[in-house]
Every structure is written in C-alpha cells, then in structure tokens.
Chains A and B, each alone.
Chain A
Amino acid sequence: EAGVAQSPRYKIIEKRQSVAFWCNPISGHATLYWYQQILGQGPKLLIQFQNNGVVDDSQLPKDRFSAERLKGVDSTLKIQPAKLEDSAVYLCASSLVSGQGIGYTFGSGTRLTVV
C-alpha cells in the first residue's frame, strides 16, 4: 500500500512569513496526527483528527498555527506568521483507527527552516 505522503519535503522561509504543509494519509486511515519534531527531540503532538473532526488540539499554538482535514482525507497545517522557534520537522502520521492497539505510519516529514 502507498505510504503517508507529505509535501513539500523542505521549506525555507523568513520569520513572519506564512507556510503551509500538506499530508495525504494512507487510504482508509481514519485518524491523522500532526507532530512537530525539533532537532534532537522526540515528536510532539500538535493536533489529532478523527475523520474530519478535531479530537485534540490542546498543544497547537492557535495564535499562529491552524490545521484542517476536509472530507476526512487530506490535511493541511499552516503557520502564520512563522517564528524562528518554529524551525523543525513537521511529521504527519495516520492510523487505521485510534485506541485499537495499532501503530502509526509516519510520512517523511517537511523540514522547515525559519531564518
């Protein structure tokens, strides 16, 4: 089966600019996650979707970050305006269902550098 697709692979922007990342999960996977991974650290959850509804966005900096998952398939994560500390890899992951003892499949990520 095809994996989790993410684009772009790399992005360099200046601070205060905006940026958007796209994720296409594995077909049929109801649950989608966006994680932020700062260099040398473990991934940190930003937002969790179940189909097209938000399950948890408690760690999403809502003053600058937004995410949506229209029609319960693709998802986009946006940052506006970006700060230097947003430099990180943004990972999208999906799973068939949540809470059934099934692991995540991660995409290759988008490496964001804010200068």
Chain B
Amino acid sequence: QQPVQSPQAVILREGEDAVINCSSSKALYSVHWYRQKHGEAPVFLMILLKGGEQKGHEKISASFNEKKQQSSLYLTASQLSYSGTYFCGTGSNFGNEKLTFGTGTRLTIIP
C-alpha cells in the first residue's frame, strides 16, 4: 500500500517554514525523502533508519517515528529553490532498500 503524504500541496512565501508528513500502513525499516522538480529526476535528500532518529542538513531536516509508522520533513526558512514535489519512499525490510513511494506533496515557494 502506498504511503499517504499530507498536505497534497502547499504554497509558501520565501522564508516561511513547512512540514510534510508521510504515513504508512506497514511497519517500516527506513524512510527516504526525495525532491523532484518539474520534468526532472527525483533527487535524494536524506534517509532515516529504524531507531527514531532525526536528521538534517542545512535548513532541511526530518524525523522518523517507527511506532507510528510516520515520518515528517521540515523545511525551515524556505528558499525559492525548495519548490518542487516531495516524495517519501518507505522500505519495510532490513537488507533490501526496495522503496514504495508516497503520493507526493507539491511545494510552491513564492517571493
């Protein structure tokens, strides 16, 4: 079953913060986050493994709650370059990074 992301779409002004949620009906071992700009390939942002860790680089961070089978992506002080569609990809098996991608969240940053 495909992970459900919320919100489906969001429009922000430059400098505002955003949270994107990813919820799965299956037990998870890992969660990946990717950003895809229109007409381009998805680009890897970060991965979180079972253990409830939080990760981040620059102004983008993420958390993973494996008990709730949920992950959240946090974008702080958003920049125009953050625009795109964000996908979570979930993996259920240790030793195999086969991913099931979520429904996607379209983020638009306006000046």
Contacts and interface: CB of A to CB of B under 8 A. Distances in A.
Interface of A: 4, 31, 33, 35, 40-45, 48, 55-56, 91, 95, 98-109
Contacts of B111: none
B98 A42 contact: no
B47 A108 contact: no
Contact of B96 (A43, A99, A108): A99
A101 B104 CA distance: 21
Chain A contact residues, majority secondary structure: loop
B41 A101 contact: no
Contacts of B30: 101
Interface residues of B, number: 28
Interface string B75-111: 0000000000001010101111111111110000000
Given A91-B42, A95-B97, A101 B47 contact: yes
B96 to A, nearest CB: 5
Contacts of B12: none
B96 A98 contact: yes
Contacts of B97: 31, 95, 98-102, 104
Interface in B36-95: 40-47, 49, 87, 89, 91, 93-95
The 3 closest A-B pairs by CB, nearest first: A42-B101, A103-B44, A99-B95
Contacts of A33: 98
Nearest to B95: A99
Given A31-B97, A102-B97, A42 B41 contact: no
Given A91-B42, A101-B30, A106-B42, A56 B47 contact: no
Given A98-B95, A104-B32, A42 B102 contact: yes
